[in-house]
Amino acid sequence: MALDGNRPHPGALARYPVPIELISGLFRADDEERDHLLARMPSYGRARIAAYCAVNERLEELGLKVARTCDEAMLARAAGPVLGADLFIRSRRETAIEPQLQAA
C-alpha cells in the first residue's frame, strides 16, 4: 500500500482493522447519513473507527465526529489510554467551540 494521503497507512490498518469501504462511506456521508450508519454499530466498533481516523491526517475530522459518539472508556479500550483520552477530550472540545463560532 502506498503511504500517501489517499491510501490507508498499513500500520493503522494493523492496529485498528476497519473495512476501508466503511471508512469511505462515512467520509462521503452527510451528517444525518453518518449518524444513521454509526447508530447501528456497537460502541467498540465506533471507537476503533475513531482511533483509525485519528492517526490519518486526512481523516482526523471524521475521527473526531465518530469519537463524539463514544465514551472515554471505550475509546481507551480501542486506542489505548493516551490516544483514547486525547480523542475524547478533543472531540468534546470541538463540540463546545462550534456553537460559539456560530454565535459570533
64-88 tens-digit pLDDT = 999 999 999 999 999 899 999 999 9
Q: Residue 3 domain-assigned? A: no
The reply to whether 14 falls in a domain is yes
Per-residue pLDDT, 95: 60
Show the low-confidence residues of the chain (pLDDT under 50).
1-10, 12-13, 101
Decide if 1 is inside a domain.
no
Tell me which residue has cell 471505550.
74
55 domain-assigned: yes
Q: What residues make up the domain containing 27? A: 10-103
Q: Is residue 50 in a domain? A: yes
Instruction: Specify if 4 maps to a domain.
Output: no
pTM beyond 0.85: the answer is no
CB 65 within 8 A of CB 34: yes
In this predicted structure, what is the pLDDT of residue 2? 36
pLDDT at 98: 53
| 26-35: burial string, b at 16+ Cβ within 10 Å, e else | beeeeeeebe
- Rounded Cα gap, residues 47 and 70, in angstroms: 6
In whole angstroms, what is the distance from residue 62 CA to residue 27 CA? 7
Sequence-ordered list of residues with C-beta below 8 angstroms from that of 93, at least 6 positions apart, any chain: none
**Structural domains of the chain, count:** 1
pLDDT at residue number 19: 84
